[in-house]
Structure 1
């Protein structure tokens, strides 16, 4: 007979506690879980642990501490094995009569909370310790549902609570307990010379360090860019990057090293890897930097404060809750490289201020963020929830509780029988659409985004993440991201890279959704990788659901053959929305069929004679050659020559050169840096005796060469250097086995000398089914053409 104990638990009795984590790798959550396990009063806690993969350096420590650790291996939650493991977990909870289950992070929560509730565990706690940027919309919905089953959702910062409340969580269920630090580990005396001796550096060298897991949201690229600026003022400074890459992104470290090389600071940046002596290291750096783009509450921040290190951190997530600007450290906006560099330099310039900030930061940790305080608060929460449960059970009565336990047992039996049955076919998951409006979330999509571009077989680089990210950073001022991500079964099926802004058209103020596009993006479109009909409908449905936020949908520079033009027009017509199309430029391109001699012989004899004459003139000055620059460091150096040549002559006078606009200059500078990492950006030069006299930005993507942003030295105008650059570039493309050279832009006469073939582009305008939008459609597609013909 089951005996149900409804008495209020004895405060002195050990709590039967089980903690669930996905793995035991060396991440922020795992570090906090282990610190909490070390600090809980083991005389008052009967602790055991569970994981989904017995993986990571903390496994040995758990075994050494003789804490029971059970593995419930799950490769996918879309499997009967997942149900089987959850049934096994529930049976264990029932047999052991576990009082508290505390699960961590998405996979831990989804695995443990439902079976714990099913097993009748008195107290079930879920933990969320991030801002959800790594979760798909479907995962967010699943976690929100799972957390409704928990008694409490434990978070580590008010920023996380605020996000969850906005996402539909009940505020009364959310408890904030900040991370804690074992302050005693950070009490070692400072020995600056020891660390510098180990690194083979002079004893007085300033050390600026980032301690972090090396992931793309930690702002490490911005740190290196800031380091390059700081290094100009403090050439003796060295920059430490301490940490390792996660298993899912092993090449990121190589990307960072390559970036350091391109920034010409490769010899001043030290990548130390993972270190076990972080407390000693932090105690002896000159400045500790937290450049995260998105963060809930960083353990590295608290550890730096505990070590008394002067800190520069980005104002993200829970960081401002802990670090007070000008009192315990310096705060800067996320992704703001100049501000980051300025603040680092300020602390290097002012050692007295730096020391004051470090001491104040240490005091804050001792008073409010010690691991002892965190452990006591957490244990008090456990006991309070257990007491509440016992009193609630006592009020409901033993009989009711016994009936509940019998029901749980029946459910467990049913679950066990289900997992023993043959597998049934799983229905194809439906589409879901998520709107990305946050810069950090957009940045986090890079790998998935580019993988989607490749699956969509888009034959140009202008929709790749690095292109659009750079465009947004340089031209997105005054706008807001409104990117629609369509997922199917968790994988991205389609992307509509849109932004929202307001403008005036024909005297009417309008709200507009438009593609991330201006004159510096030659081609734009939606990215559709699978199930095109379903994906387009999902995008249109999402746009219709937000129709009160836009008057016009503007899809600029859609290339000939894009299904977006006809599909979106048809979907709009079905819903009674007016649309209209404007023809845009026709971009000439050369099909590289046959060989160079055959192609060249088909060009007009007059044109070929002109090329021979120009080449003869240039040869009298020296040996002409085509130079193609691809590699990072060389490309960054050559970039300045390209800017100089592009600005020569009429472009600088007309104010249309790259150097004429700081935003445009930044765009092409950053694009060269980022695209060179992917090795698709080529800088082409025509040289004579080694002197660069003409240039073009080139994108070698797949089997095609794209040419844009061209220029030449007017001192050699009599030789037509740009015409000769095209001559050598097209000839080289034939030799390389490429299939096309695309001149992009408009059908200018010089391009048509090389080819009569063009690719049309169109702008599609879709108008919301409102009076304002219908008036605008009438003005744009009825009145404006009539006025244009009349004036002609």
Structure 2
């Protein structure tokens, strides 16, 4: 099974199996079949968490190399786990919170309920009702925390610094994916759609590339059928500008870290985002980022040091900011090193997993 995150396929260390319920202390729920950023987060975290605690996922749409409970094992959750007074039911969506509430209060399962919120909008009354019944709440950013009406812990996402790492040789990395090592590359990765701002990136490149023959733009990510006309319109704009060979749609890629490694600059032009992992992945690969002020981007990027934050949905601002970075090689080099230092000191995936475990332990240790 191929699992794609925001920008491409994300791997997971094999930890497969159907574990014994009595030794599972945390259930990471994933009730959504369709791939999403939430699903990607679970896929990345679970192998690390499985080294720390007995944990298993529950739900569809997950690869076979993760520890997973089968649906027929769910009745086993009504019994206490071995050596602990209760399990943790970790939800990230409304249906998962509701299922946990039903198990705990209707079926009297020995559970404590944890919810992670990435939302940056006011919750509906129904969602607030669900959240109030959680025993602990995690926000993925300070922005998300401000929309919560209950006590919460901010734990920002991390990135796998081994998987997303700089190339030993940039020219060789570029050649390895079939691109021209004589060019510099600026990228925009993620699903191709209006919400992701792919059109803003394309229009920015149409403005900038004619005066910068040493640069090429690449776009990776899936285009679903209902967004095919959007991509077709962008391709028509590119062709009309005579830039079809320098603004390239590469489609969905399984080896997405290899494509980060060819970049000298990354642009995150989203109009809306819950959190947004692509800037972390880019910076972990030593690539500075120009990003719209959506999601958690302003909490990830140090302006002027590892990249730049611009107002969302403003083409002129994106053009100006991107041009400043493309035209200053020394600044790009300094920001590349600063981005690596930032990610490795503050945004490791292992750190995220450890902080979530602290939340679990806080519930187990509470009187």
The TM-score range, normalised by the shorter chain, is: 0.7 to 0.9
**1:105 aligns to 2:113 (yes or no):** no
Matched, 1:124 2:113: yes
Match of 1:59 among 60, 63, 73: 63
Q: Which runs of 5+ in 1 are unaligned?
A: 1-12, 73-87, 392-792
What is aligned with 2:195? 217
Partner of 2:265: 287
Which residue matches 2:335? Answer: 357
**Aligned pair in 2 of structure 1 residues 251, 18: CA closer, same or farther (>3 Å)?**
farther
Name the CA distance, whole Å, in 1 between partners of 2:70 and 2:225: 23
Q: Give the counterpart of 1:143 among 110, 127, 139.
A: 127
Deviation at 1:49, TM superposition (A): 1.6
* Number of equivalent positions: 341
Asked if the contact 1:183–1:366 (Cα under 8 Å) also holds between the matched residues in 2, the reply is: yes
Question: Take 1:340 and 1:356, find their aligned partners in 2: how far apart are those partners?
Answer: 21
Secondary structure in structure 1 of the residue aligned to 2:260: helix
**Distance in 1 between the 2:174 and 2:162 partners?**
24
Change (3 A) 1:310 1:143: same
Tell me, what secondary structure is at the counterpart of 1:330? strand
> 2:26 aligned to 3, 6, 17, which one?
17
| C-alpha separation in 1, matches of 2:242 and 2:128 | 47
Deviation readout 1:681-730 (Å, 9 max, x if unpaired): xxxxxxxxxxxxxxxxxxxxxxxxxxxxxxxxxxxxxxxxxxxxxxxxxx
More strand by share: 1
**Cα distance, 1:198–1:258 mapped onto 2, change above 3 Å:** farther
Between the aligned partners of 1:23 and 1:61, the Cα distance in structure 2 is 18
Shift of 1:318: 1.6
Cross-structure match for 1:335: 313
Partner residue, 1:161: 145
Gap regions ≥5 residues in structure 2: 1-21
CA deviation map 1:203-223 (0-9, x unaligned) = 221211011133422111111
Q: Which residue of 51, 55, 78 corresponds with 1:47? A: 55
- 1:309-388 residue pairs with structure 2 within 5 A? 309-388=287-366
For normalisation by structure 1, the TM-score amounts to 0.40
Cα distance in 2 for partners of 1:95, 1:291 equals 48
Cα–Cα, structure 1 residues 264 and 109, in superposed 2: closer, same or farther, change >3 Å? Answer: farther
The structure with the largest helix share of the pair is 1
Distance 1:30 1:352, change over 3 A: same
Counterpart in the other structure of 1:272: 250
Query: Matched residues in 2 for 1:117 and 1:253: separation?
Result: 48
2-side partners of 1:181 and 1:294: how far apart?
21
Note closer, same or farther for the CA distance 1:27–1:263 as it changes in structure 2 (3 Å cut).
farther
Q: Cα offset for 1:18?
A: 0.5
* 1:545-603 Cα shifts (integer Å, max 9, x gaps): xxxxxxxxxxxxxxxxxxxxxxxxxxxxxxxxxxxxxxxxxxxxxxxxxxxxxxxxxxx
Task: After TM superposition, list the pairs within 5 Å mapping 1:607-646 onto structure 2.
Answer: none
Task: Tell me how far 1:39 sits from its aligned partner.
Answer: 0.9
Root mean square deviation, CA, Å: 2.6
Please state if 1:34 is matched with 2:43.
yes
2:193·2:231 contact (CA, 8 Å) conserved in 1?
A: no
* Aligned-partner SS, 2:54: strand
Is this contact kept in 1: 2:276–2:295, CA < 8 A?
A: no
Deviations 1:763-791 (A, max 9, x none): xxxxxxxxxxxxxxxxxxxxxxxxxxxxx
> Using a 3 Å threshold, how does the CA distance of structure 1 residues 230 and 151 change in structure 2: closer, same or farther?
same
| Pair 95,203 (structure 1): closer, same or farther in 2 beyond 3 Å | same
Contact 1:14 1:45 in 2 (8 A): no
> Residues 298, 236 of structure 1: CA spacing in aligned structure 2 closer, same or farther, 3 A cutoff?
same
In structure 1, the residue corresponding to 2:126 is in which secondary structure?
helix
SS at match of 1:154: strand
Specify which structure has the bigger relative contact order, considering alpha-carbon pairs within 8 angstroms and separated by 6 or more residues. Answer: 2
Aligned to 1:697: none
- 1:186 is matched with which residue? 164
The answer to whether the 8 A contact 2:91-2:115 is kept is yes
Q: Secondary structure of 1:61's match?
A: coil
Q: 1:649-673, CA deviations, whole angstroms, 9 ceiling, x for partnerless residues?
A: xxxxxxxxxxxxxxxxxxxxxxxxx
TM-score for both structures, normalised by structure 2: 0.84
CA distance in 1, matches of 2:91, 2:266: 32
SS at 1:185 equivalent: coil
- In structure 1, C-alpha distance between the alignment counterparts of 2:183 and 2:89, rounded to whole Å: 49
Partner of 1:68: 68
Q: In 2 relative to 1, CA 255–386 (structure 1 residues): closer, same or farther, beyond 3 Å?
A: farther
Give, in angstroms, the shift of residue 175 of structure 1: 1.6
